[in-house]
Structure 1
Amino acid sequence: MNTTTAQVPNNLVWAILSTLFCCLPAGIVSIVYAAQVNGKLAAGDVAGARDSADKAKKWAIWSAIAAVVVGVLYFIIIMAVGGLGALSGGNGSY
């Protein structure tokens, strides 16, 4: 009997990297979904495994996007605060 198992990538590496380097809450959700993939495949639930893999990928992407948005906002705020200091004529001494 020749049975083949469907190969569904679990995206666990991307989930872990997005958790470490991007947005922690969204990365954790991604890890949870990625961890479900192999169990669902072992149970024969290929559709559920694909769904969990897709969700893990989606949450990893959202984690990376959130990190970029926060980084840009941080840069804008720092530039605005620095600009306000220059406009007030401050010389850096208090």
Structure 2
Amino acid sequence: MENQDNIKPGDVQSPPENYLVWAILSTILCCLPLGIVSIIKSTEVNKKWAEGDYQGAHKASADAKKFATWAAIAGLVIAVIYGILMAVGVLGAASSGAYGY
């Protein structure tokens, strides 16, 4: 990774990745609150880059990636917990005779 402290306005570089697609997917499929923060951070990347705040653009990019990752992890944890609770509920109902067996 390059050193962002040495970036000057005259340097020809492309803006950092904004992770907008990952932010939107993590919002829809995983965890709404963290995904929304990720979308906000990802939209700041190009704006800060255009304003010349290169270090801020890199920070917003890293934050967008971090929040999208945490949203995906939270969604996975919630799905696993939901699956366990459903399995326990089905097994509990089957053992109590709720299905008439």
TM norm structure 2: 0.83
By how many angstroms is 1:20 displaced? 1.3
Rounded to whole Å, the distance in 2 between the matches of 1:53 and 1:91 is: 52
1:65 is matched with 73
Question: What is residue 89 of structure 1 aligned with on the other side?
Answer: 97
Give the secondary structure class of the aligned counterpart of 2:16: coil
The match for 2:36 among 22, 28, 34 is 28
Per the TM alignment, residue 13 of structure 1 is displaced from its structure 2 partner at its CA by: 1.0
C-alpha RMSD over aligned residues: 1.7
After the TM superposition, list the runs of 4 or more consecutive aligned residues in structure 1 that deviate by more than 6 angstroms. Answer: none
**Are the structure 2 counterparts of residues 6 and 91 from structure 1 closer, same or farther at C-alpha, using a change threshold of 3 Å?**
closer
State the 1:3 CA deviation. 4.4
Gaps spanning 5+ residues in structure 1: where?
A: none
Q: Is the 8 A contact 1:23 1:67 kept in 2?
A: yes
Match status 1:13 vs 2:21 = yes
Query: What is the correspondence of 1:29-68 to structure 2 with a 5 Å cutoff?
Result: 29-68=37-76
User: For residues 72 and 43 of structure 1, what CA distance do their matches in structure 2 show?
Assistant: 43
On the 8 A contact 1:6/1:46 being kept in 2, the answer is no
Aligned partner of residue 75 in structure 2, secondary structure: helix
| CA distance in structure 1 between the partners assigned to 2:40 and 2:13 by the alignment | 22
> Secondary structure of the equivalent of 1:7?
coil
